Amino acid sequence: MEMSRGFRIPEGGFTVQKTLEFVQLNGSFNADIIIEKNNRTISASSILGAMSLLIPARTGTEFIVIVKGQEAGEALEQITNFIEEQNNPSSALSLWDQEGVDNVNNALKDSQSRWTSVVQNVAKSYLTVKKN
Contact 60, 25 (CB under 8 A): no
Write out the H or E segment, with its range, that includes residue 41: strand 40-43
pLDDT of 127 higher than 80: no
The predicted structure's pLDDT at residue 86: 82
Q: Which CATH number belongs to the domain containing residue 26 in this structure?
A: 3.30.1340.10
| Vertex 87 angle, CA 125 and 131, to 5° | 30
The predicted structure's pLDDT at residue 118: 72
The predicted structure's pLDDT at residue 119: 72
Residue 24: count of CB within 10 angstroms of its CB: 11
The predicted structure's pLDDT at residue 40: 92
pLDDT of 13 higher than 80: yes
Domain extent for 106: 92-132
Give residue-wise pLDDT tens across range 36-84: 999 999 999 999 999 999 999 998 999 999 999 999 999 999 999 999 8
Is residue 74 domain-shared with residue 96, that is, in the same domain?
A: no
Give residue-wise pLDDT tens across range 92-124: 555 556 566 676 666 666 666 667 777 766 666
Task: Give this prediction's pTM.
Answer: 0.65
Is residue 82 domain-shared with residue 25, that is, in the same domain?
A: yes
Is residue 47 domain-shared with residue 69, that is, in the same domain?
A: yes
CA distance 124 to 122: 6
Is residue 75 domain-shared with residue 114, that is, in the same domain?
A: no
Q: Which residues of 102-130 are buried (b: 16+ CB within 10 A; e: fewer)?
A: eebbeebeeeeeebeeebeebbeeeeeee
pLDDT of 3 higher than 70: yes
- Total domain count, the chain: 2
pLDDT of 90 higher than 60: no
